[in-house]
């Protein structure tokens, strides 16, 4: 079971196979919980969010489409959205973006493979190299789900400036990763 691909485990979960479901939860619990913690900053709330994320994944496993992205990002997107929604409903603030950014660029990772690690390290380095005025709005957009307008209000800068900074920051990251389309 441990050697099965993510897609296979998800397919097993879609058919309500208990072993595949358990293996899927074991494989991803630290990532899902890590994502929830990175946004809500409270272990108790993060565990609620992480549990709900697995329930959503279990319910919608059959609708996962590999053409839309990897299982990991599918699941982490569910987790992120739940974490953001939870904070909004509770009227609570997400984790300080600077703390989150520090965690993102720290390079502490868990179960990734060597090739994944090299790729992530490349991205971490690039993110670390971005000027804070570009990095912060990217983090607020990607992890806190904030619109450019919300970021502008929060940071006290014009909307156009926020959009430009995000675009330029993302362009630099893409350049570094070599994913610019020809």
Residues 91-110 that bind other proteins (CB under 8 A): 103-106, 108-110
Q: Which is nearer to other proteins, 18 or 156 (CB)?
A: 18
Interface of this chain with other proteins, residues 29 to 48, rule: CB under 8 A? 29-31, 33-35, 37-38, 43-44, 46-48
Q: Among residues 7, 99, 158, 174, which is the contact residue for other proteins, using CB under 8 A?
A: 174
Q: Does 154 bind other proteins (CB under 8 A)?
A: no
Site string for other proteins, 120-139 (x = CB under 8 A): x--xx--x----------x-
Q: Using CA atoms, how far apart are residues 178 and 79, in angstroms rounded to an integer?
A: 28
Angle at 15 (CA atoms; ends 10, 17), nearest 5 degrees: 80
Interface of this chain with other proteins, residues 58 to 97, rule: CB under 8 A? 58-65, 67-70, 72-74, 76-78, 80-82, 85-86, 88-90
Do the Cβ atoms of 111 and 30 come closer than 8 Å? yes
């Amino acid at each position: 079971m441990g050697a099965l691909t993510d897609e296979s485990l998800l397919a097993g979960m879609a058919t309500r196979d208990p072993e595949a479901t358990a293996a899927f939860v074991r494989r991803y619990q630290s990532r899902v919980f890590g994502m929830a913690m990175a946004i809500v900053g409270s272990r108790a709330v993060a565990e609620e969010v992480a549990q709900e994320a697995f329930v959503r994944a279990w319910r919608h496993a059959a609708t996962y489409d590999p053409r839309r992205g990897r299982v990991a990002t599918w699941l982490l997107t569910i987790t992120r959205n739940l974490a953001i929604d939870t904070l909004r409903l509770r009227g609570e603030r997400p984790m300080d973006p600077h703390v989150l950014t520090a965690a993102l660029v720290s390079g502490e990772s868990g179960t990734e493979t060597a090739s994944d690690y090299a790729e992530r390290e490349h991205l971490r380095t690039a993110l670390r190299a971005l000027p804070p005025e570009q990095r912060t709005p990217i983090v607020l957009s990607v992890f806190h789900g904030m619109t450019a307008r919300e970021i502008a209000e929060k940071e006290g800068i014009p909307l156009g400036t926020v959009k430009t900074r995000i675009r330029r920051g993302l362009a630099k990251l893409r350049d570094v990763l070599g994913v610019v389309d020809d």
